[in-house]
Structure 1
Amino acid sequence: MSLSKYESTRGTTHLARIARAILGPCIDVLREVLSKEISPPDLEKKVKTYILQNGKPSISEQQKRLVYGKNYSVFDITLLYFLLRNMCSIPPHRNKWGKDPEPTDLSVSANIERIRILRNEWYGHATAFFLTDLDFERKWNHISQILKELEGYLGTATKYQDTLVKLKICCMDPDSIQHYIDTLLTVEELQTDVSNLKEDVEEIKKSIKISSTKGKAI
């Protein structure tokens, strides 16, 4: 069988560049927004309070360990979105958290939401492993606008926008193309599955322990 359909092409390079943009500047700008909003020590207190108030935690044990480790540089988009939405004082966009923002909404929360949606599109719901030139330009301009708005909120330089310009034209060999696509589409999903599995096991252990205790009481 011919393997030509799986070879690196201009279209797969486009996808790999999108992956690099999401896994690089998009994540980093969210980390900076979180740093601006809340310090690591305060974040730990807020998360513990949130868990106590809401009963069953909305984040995994692995994510809690990351939060308590106080190192924002290892937070992924899923965790960052949860923290920005629930622990910070950022007002929700016009359509509310968790929903697609209106195209004209340039609020901080709207742009945070757009990064979450981008992440889901390219790792959770991707159906093709290439992009046409037109689709790539549209996506790239979309990401560029998101970074521009969030850097404006941060009041910093244009380092993420500048990085995006370089990522668009830098050399990408076939190995690096596959690496970024795999990272975006597989690694994060695997980590999430492992975390969920660990939580399920803990729940089963608790259930068995409770059942065993009741049996002895009877």
Structure 2
Amino acid sequence: MALSKYDSTRETTNLARIARAILGPCVDVLRDILTKEITPPELKKELNKYPNKYRISQHQKQVVKNGDYSKFDISLLYMFLRNLGSIPEHKNKWGTNPDPYDKSVSANIERIRNFRNEWGHFTDLSLSDSDFEQHWKNIFQTVKDLEGYLGATTVYQDALNNLKTCCMDPDSIQPYIKKLLLVEQLVTDITDLKDEVQQIKKTIEPASLNGN
């Protein structure tokens, strides 16, 4: 009988390793960078002082107030690292793909955000060995460069080396893939909701003016 596309194979394991790398070392290195730039108490003061500078939801505000960077996801980390102003933006500017040869801190922060977005929209449930090796190389180099900025530590590089070859139970593969897809879907849903609210406002405002 032919293998179901939902069966655990080497290719689905490759994708799960990518998901674990993004949701693990990639997020954690951004958390360490944010810690280097500003402490949780200072970040709360920053948010209170400039409430309009950071466009975040009430839930995200509560996460910030709790002062635990381990609860920050990539979107929240990226938003603060981008807007605090302490990290110079890369040559192509924040929010755009960095030059492949740009090794600046902001370029690598941008790459991690792009990893999340790219794999969050990934429609296949598997990844060939050759594609895996290329993507893993990009992820590893990005984390390596950011750890270089943090200091002499290789904690996250070591974690990636372990993730690349560690044994993965078939039952653990799909949850990592689903989690990565779910994170991106939540971001997409929130963005779509904001767009819908803006459209409703545009519809209501002219009607209100006409009523007056």
Report the TM-score range of the alignment, normalised by the length of the smaller protein.
0.7 to 0.9
8 Å contact from structure 1 (residues 38, 88) kept in 2: no
Pairs within 5 Å for 1:105-184:
105-123=102-120, 125-184=121-180
TM-score (structure 2 length as normaliser): 0.86
- The question of 1:186 aligning with 2:185 is answered no
For residues 4-52 of structure 1, the C-alpha deviation after alignment (integer angstroms, 9 at most, x for no partner) is 1221111110000000000000000000000000111111122233324
Equivalent residue number for residue 31 of structure 1: 31
Query: Structure 1 residues 84, 68: closer, same or farther in 2, change over 3 A?
Result: same
Percentage of identical aligned residues = 62
8 Å contact from structure 2 (residues 90, 98) kept in 1: yes
Q: Which consecutive segments of 4 or more residues in structure 1 shift more than 3 A?
A: 190-198
Extract unaligned runs of 5+ from structure 2: 205-210
SS in 2 for 1:4: coil
Amino acid paired to 1:76 = D
For residues 119-175 of structure 1, the C-alpha deviation after alignment (integer angstroms, 9 at most, x for no partner) is 00111x212111111110001110110111000000141010000000001111221
Amino acid paired to 2:63 = L
8 Å contact from structure 1 (residues 31, 80) kept in 2: yes
Equivalent residue number for residue 12 of structure 1: 12
Q: Distance in 2 between matches of 1:102 and 1:86?
A: 20
- The question of 1:46 aligning with 2:46 is answered yes
TM-score (structure 1 length as normaliser): 0.84
Equivalent residue number for residue 208 of structure 2: none
Equivalent residue number for residue 211 of structure 1: none
Pairs within 5 Å for 1:42-121:
42-52=42-52, 54=53, 58-121=55-118
Query: Structure 1 residues 195, 48: closer, same or farther in 2, change over 3 A?
Result: farther
Query: Structure 1 residues 46, 196: closer, same or farther in 2, change over 3 A?
Result: farther
Extract unaligned runs of 5+ from structure 1: 209-214
SS in 2 for 1:172: coil
